[in-house]
Every structure is written in C-alpha cells, then in structure tokens.
Chain A
Amino acid sequence: DQQVKQNSPSLSVQEGRISILNCDYTNSMFDYFLWYKKYPAEGPTFLISISSIKDKNEDGRFTVFLNKSAKHLSLHIVPSQPGDSAVYFCAATSNTGNQFYFGTGTSLTVIP
C-alpha cells in the first residue's frame, strides 16, 4: 500500500510562473520529508527537506509547505525555469524508521 502519494503524474507550467507539486501521506508517524529532483538517465538529487516541527522551509526559489493535519506537503518553485523540467519525488520517514518511502513522482515541464 502506497504510504506516500503524488496524485498528479505530470504538470506543465509557463516559464516565470509558479509550479506547485503536491504530495500526500497516510502514515501519521512520518515526521521528516524530502523532495528529490530526477533528470532522465540520472539518479535523483536532493532538493529540500522539512521536519514536522516546521510548516515551511525555503531555499532560494524552492519552498516546501507542510500541513500535518491534512497529511499534505507541497513544493513551490518560483519563478519556474526550463531547467526545472524533471521528475520530482517526495519522500517521508518516521523517527523510528530505517528508510524513506517515496511517492510515484510528478513530471514537471516548464515551457519557455
């Protein structure tokens, strides 16, 4: 059973606009979350993280929001750039966990 879900397989956004990628989880024990970006023929690379003690974490153009009551997190990219076109995975773990659980990924296309 998928504990981390990304319900949008793909997203297209105009360059310069905001990209919002969503992620939902079912396990209430998850307390630490990561976003990864993956280009074709490359391994995923770490993008940004958030702990459950926060509801927002920002790093340059990337901001992750966490809504614990809704078991939902989102990644905002502002402004979007063509180089952001990639597959984005969210991942979650608990404080007793020994692995991260990954979502199914969202393919973002930023149109120049």
Chain B
Amino acid sequence: DVKVTQSSRYLVKRTGEKVFLECVQDMDHENMFWYRQDPGLGLRLIYFSYDVKMKEKGDIPEGYSVSREKKERFSLILESASTNQTSMYLCASSPAPRDGYTFGSGTRLTVV
C-alpha cells in the first residue's frame, strides 16, 4: 500500500521556536507538496518541489522554508513559529503535475 507518512500527528510548540515537519513517501514520486488547511480557507499551498533540491513557492510561503535533500523526503520548516501558524499541515506527493495527489494524514500544529 503506497504511503505518505508525516512524522507527527500532533505538535505543540512555543512562539519563536524553529519547527520541522517531516514527510516521507515510498512511491518514488517526483512531486511533493506542503499545504495548510484552515476553516473557511480550504487547502492552501505553501511550497512544492518537483525534484530533489528543487523548490517552488506556493500561495503562502511567508514564514516557511522547505528542504528536499532526498527524493522521498520533503521537510517543512517554520523558522520562528508564530500563533498564526497554528493549523493542520498536509503533505502530498504525485508522480506528475497532473496526477492526483496522495496525502499524508496531516500534522495538527498548535503554536502557543
């Protein structure tokens, strides 16, 4: 069964902390994505990557960075966590840009 695995289901961090959200896929997919889901705003794209060491900004990249050192792993970094980054974070992967995404189960991040 193909999978996208997010390392944490729930995280609580303090304002100003550096936060790492990890995502691993076992499908040899080229493309990986980070979204956040907020009530009334749906899924908003933060960053995506179409190859190792490549990254593209999505719609809301401010306050975030990403790292893709290996094909299967895509990390989202909150450089200095703030309360407005409290959200559900979803990682996804796909073999090609027009292929449907496989999502991970999400990480519920609370910044206090």
Contacts and interface: CB of A to CB of B under 8 A. Distances in A.
Interface residues of A, number: 24
B4 to A, nearest CB: 7
Given A32-B98, A46-B100, A105-B42, A99 B9 contact: no
B106 A42 contact: yes
A34 interface: yes
B42 A89 contact: yes
Contact of A44 (B44, B56, B98, B103): B103
Contact of B97 (A49, A89, A93, A104): A93
B90 A99 contact: no
Nearest to B45: A99
Given A97-B97, A99-B33, A45 B103 contact: yes
Nearest to A103: B42
Interface residues of B, number: 27
A97 B31 CA distance: 13
Interface of A is mostly: loop
Nearest to A43: B103
B101 A100 contact: yes
Interface in A3-56: 6, 9, 32, 34, 36, 41-46, 49
A103 B40 CA distance: 10
Interface of A: 2, 6, 9, 32, 34, 36, 41-46, 49, 89, 93, 95, 97-100, 102-105
